[in-house]
Amino acid sequence: VLQAAPRPFSGEAEKFIMSAYSFAEAAHRGQKRKSGEDYIIHSLFVAKNLAEIGMDEKTLAAGLLHDVPEDTTVTLEDVREKFGDEVALLVDGITKLGKIKLRGSKEEFYLENLRKMFMAMAEDIRVVIIKLADRLHNMRTLEHLPPEKQQRIARGTLEIYDQIANRLGIGEIKGELEDICFKYLEPEHYEETKKL
């Protein structure tokens, strides 16, 4: 994760990130993803995605901890006590954003309102960036889900997350999200394009 950053972190920042990793690893110990991998692997990839686009140590720590209060017995208060208000605010924001669901309506005004709500709920833009890094790793591991779920998640990704990445100017994430969505939403065209 630390090597993925364009600039090296200070010794203090590295210690902070490593502490968040240890905390998240202990909290998620024994949990597995649908792929069979240890859950902490997902948290590490989210942090790596964040490091690659040059985010700071508090954002990386929140990326490592983003599922801890929701998926383990560790509370948000435990996170706040160990890592401070700023990281706790980011983790809490990610939990709230996770509760927004795409309901299947395709009208542009509805999607626009959903995007606005997504942005409005994020008191700190870093929450949205962590959520994008989280969605990117979830998309990279989409093959472990049933086909109908793959389609639903890919559609929601294209209609919301891709648009937000575009508005934030995060081209690396936007491009990869589009490629993965194309693979699941237009499999025949995707294969043809790959051959070409």
Q: Which residues are the active-site residues?
A: 70-71
DSSP-derived 3-state class of residue 38: strand
Helix H or strand E encompassing 36: none
Q: What is the 3-state secondary structure (H, E, C) of 56-120?
A: CHHHHHHHHHCCHHHHCCCCHHHHHHHHHHHHHHHHHHHHHHCCCCCCCCCCHHHHHHHHHHHHH
Q: How far, in Å, CA of 175 to CA of 14, rounded?
A: 29
Q: How far, in Å, CA of 194 to CA of 123, rounded?
A: 40
